[in-house]
């Protein structure tokens, strides 16, 4: 099966959840894409927030159904369903 990707992003890692796709487009950025009729369209950047609601920045990795954000202090993770 082939898909047409809108925009100029390249995917280092990705996971598909329903009609959405989360993709790591560089080491520090996660984007959410909508999949419709074999077309993948960028929707928005995904932010990690700590328990105080502040944005967290760090390296992003995907393994299985989890997305990991690694900072100099700790490792945060979320299930893909929590991000779409």
Parse the chain into domains and list their residue ranges. 4-83
Coil, strand or helix at 83: helix
Chain length of the chain: 84
Q: How far apart are CA 6 and CA 80, in angstroms?
A: 22
Tens digit of each residue's pLDDT (9 = 90 or more) over 34-67: 999 888 899 999 888 888 988 989 999 888 888 8
Structure pTM?
0.79
Tens digit of each residue's pLDDT (9 = 90 or more) over 14-34: 888 889 988 888 888 889 999
Neighbours of 14 (CB within 10 A): 15
The beta strand positions in 2-82, using DSSP E, are: 4-5, 13-17, 20-26, 29-36, 39-46, 48-49, 55-56, 59-63, 66-70, 75-79
């Amino acid at each position: 099966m082939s898909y047409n990707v809108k925009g100029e992003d390249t995917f280092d890692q990705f996971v598909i959840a329903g009609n959405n796709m989360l993709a790591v487009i560089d080491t520090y950025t996660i984007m959410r894409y909508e999949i419709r009729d074999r077309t993948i369209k960028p929707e928005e950047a995904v932010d990690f927030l700590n328990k105080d609601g502040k944005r967290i920045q760090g390296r992003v990795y995907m393994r299985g159904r989890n997305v990991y954000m690694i900072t100099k202090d700790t490792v945060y993770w979320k299930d893909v369903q929590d991000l779409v």
